[in-house]
Structures are given as structure tokens and as C-alpha cells.
Amino acid sequence: MSDETRRTGCVFVFSGPSGTGKTTLAWEVIRRVPGMEFSVSYTTRAPRDGEQEGVDYRFVERAEFERLRARGEFAEWAEVFGNLYGTHRGDLERVVAEGRDIVLDIDIQGALQVRRARRESILVFILPPDFEALRQRLVARAKDHPEAISRRLQAARSEIEHAFEFDYLVVNDSLEEAVARLQAVVQAERLRRFKQEGILRRILASFPAAPAGGRTDRR
């Protein structure tokens, strides 16, 4: 498909408190919906068990992260619990220019930065069913010490207050239902007129020119 008729790619930002399952949801949507890929963030934190370089994150030293940030190479960056996270601007531009969609799994600070940098970005807030469900999930995943879990739960309420600034809200009460809701969001956004203007112009050009002064049938 030529550049003139290719659909413009979308930038989807999944965000929400730690433990809501946004990373799992992001990967499930990417697995099930063709034409999507995951944005691999840069971070200064150490890898957790099972995380892979270049798949889950790009793990870098703090000095390297700060060098990239100083050069303006991040579309967004944030410091969360003492660690730096950032999305490389070039990754977004490359995928969108090629007509594919990219999914960012980032914190709330970063999501709002992306919105300021790219107003057409689609922000999706992932919510837990309630406080107790979030607490149980954080404990069950066994990735953090009790003190870290307590910090994350304390931060969750103020993070959820930012949900009013997002385009879509998805409650992750059931994995299958949450994925289905996210797939509906993706399909709706792909069908927006401004995302398909090249296709619209190609189809319109296939029709004979309207006669001068001709009346348009509005029925």
C-alpha cells in the first residue's frame, strides 16, 4: 500500500496503578490484533525475574538515560520510586509512519507527557475492580517487599484520580472481558476519519467527477 493510501498508525497508551494488569493486557491485545507492536521503554531499574532485555525493557545505567534525555530523545520520561523510565521518540515515529499501531505501557506521568507531545494519542486507563482486589494482586505477584506494596497502594488513589484525564476507562475484573474491551477501543480508533484520509481519497478518486452544478442525493 502506498504512503498516500496507508492508514496512519495510532499511539495507544495503557496506564494505571501498579498491579492492575496493564502489561498483561497490552501483550494480549498485541497478540490478538494484527498490526500492533509493543513500545519497549528504557529504564534504570534492575530486571525482575523473567524479564528480558529488549523485550520487557531496555535496561540502561542512569548516566546513559540522562544522556539520552539531555539530547531530547525521549517522547516522555518519569521517575517512579527512584527509577527512571522513558519512551524513545524515534520508536514511536517509526512505527506510526509505517502505518502500524504502537502500545505504550507506562505510568500516569508519562502518559500525560505523551498527550502533550502527541495530542492524537489515545490514553486508556486500566482500573482494578476495587482496593482489595488491587492489594491481593500486588501480594500474589510476589515481586515487591511489603514496604513497596504499601507504597504502591498509597499511591494508587492519587493515580486513579488522574483517570478523569484519559480517553477510555477499562476495568480489569476479568482478563477476557478486559481484552475484549480494549480490542473494541483499538478498532474504533482505527476507523476514525482522520486516520484513514488516504484511503478515503483513494476511493473518492475512483469515482467519476461530479457534473458541474449537480445535486447531491442526501436521502
Q: Are strands 11-15 and 122-127 parallel, antiparallel or unpaired?
A: parallel
CA neighbours within 13 Å on the CB side: how many for 146?
Answer: 0
Q: Beta partners for 13? A: 104, 123
pLDDT band at 216 (very low <50, low <70, confident <90, very high): low
CA 43 centroid distance within chain: 17
pLDDT for 164-204, tens place per residue? Answer: 999 999 999 999 999 999 999 999 999 998 888 888 888 98
The residue with greater pLDDT, 214 or 84, is 84
- Phi, psi at residue 154, to the nearest 5°? -65, -35
Select the CATH number that applies to the domain covering 11-194 from these four: 3.40.50.2300, 3.40.50.300, 3.40.50.970, 3.40.50.150: 3.40.50.300
pLDDT for 25-66, tens place per residue? Answer: 999 999 999 999 999 999 999 998 899 999 889 999 999 999
Of the candidates 113, 112, 111, 75, the residue with the CA atom closest to the CA atom of residue 95: 75
Tell me what pLDDT residue 147 has.
Answer: 85
Distant-in-sequence, close-in-space partners of 142: CB < 8 Å, separation ≥ 6: none
- pTM, 2 dp: 0.83
